[in-house]
Copies of this chain bind each other. A is one copy, B any other.
Amino acid sequence: MAQPLPAAALDQLFRSARTPNDWTDEPVAEETLRALYDLYKWGPTSANSSPARFVWVRSAEGKSTLASLAMEGNRPKILAAPVTVIIGHDLDFPDTMPKLFPARGEMMRQWFRHPGVAEITAVRNGSLQGAYLIIAARALGLDCGPMSGFDNAAVDKAFFAGTKIQSNFICSLGHGKPESIFPRNPRLAFEEAGRFA
């Protein structure tokens, strides 16, 4: 039976982790991004469907394009961060099921092709994978700045043209400036957010 992680690890993942609003010049190595993927890719999704797709925006041109499609307040964050990843989901993910679920691939492909099933599955599980990315990045010592303030349709056109991938949210990755962190907002109490049954 697994034991709880040490308190310092729980702090790093959740309790002390914060969203910075500005970034240091400290780069994020490509090998760190690959190690990040190799960690969060293991997070569970429905029938291992893994519908999320990722564009790791780190070039000056890529950042400029992405920033131009974001809400004004988010532009400097995208430009300052060493990398901002676009998390999307592929509505054509059912075609990957034979690869991702070899034992029942064709059956699962057909299941996810039922009307409406691919869409809700992609949004739900693509979002789960986005959250795995955030927590895995923190586990590797990176700070995360997730944002949904941008023009999704324009980002799809600029970064996912010719595919059925739709952008979900974006997340800057790097090392945040501590002084750019806002005071922490309160959370709902256990009873406000739920109940026993």
Contacts and interface: CB of A to CB of B under 8 A. Distances in A.
Contacts of A100: 185-188
Nearest to A171: B44
B131 A185 contact: no
Given A26-B1, A148-B46, A38 B185 contact: no
Most chain B CB within a 10 A radius of its CB, from A39, A43, A140, A168: A43
Contact of A131 (B55, B99, B131): B131
A146 interface: yes
State the number of copies, please: 2
B39 A19 contact: no
Contact of A52 (B48, B56, B123, B193): B193
A141 B5 CA distance: 7
A1 B141 contact: yes
Contacts of A142: 2
Contacts of A148: 46, 121, 124
Contacts of A99: 186, 188
A69 interface: no
A161 interface: no
Given A2-B138, A55-B195, A124-B127, A185 B39 contact: no
Given A4-B141, A5-B9, A101-B185, 5 more contacts: A2-B12, A10-B139, A13-B139, A37-B194, A38-B190
27 contacts: A2-B138, A2-B141, A4-B140, A5-B9, A5-B12, A5-B140, A9-B139, A10-B39, A10-B139, A13-B13, A13-B136, A37-B194, A43-B134, A50-B187, A52-B193, A54-B195, A56-B194, A57-B196, A58-B196, A100-B186, A123-B123, A123-B124, A124-B127, A124-B169, A128-B131, A135-B135, A159-B197
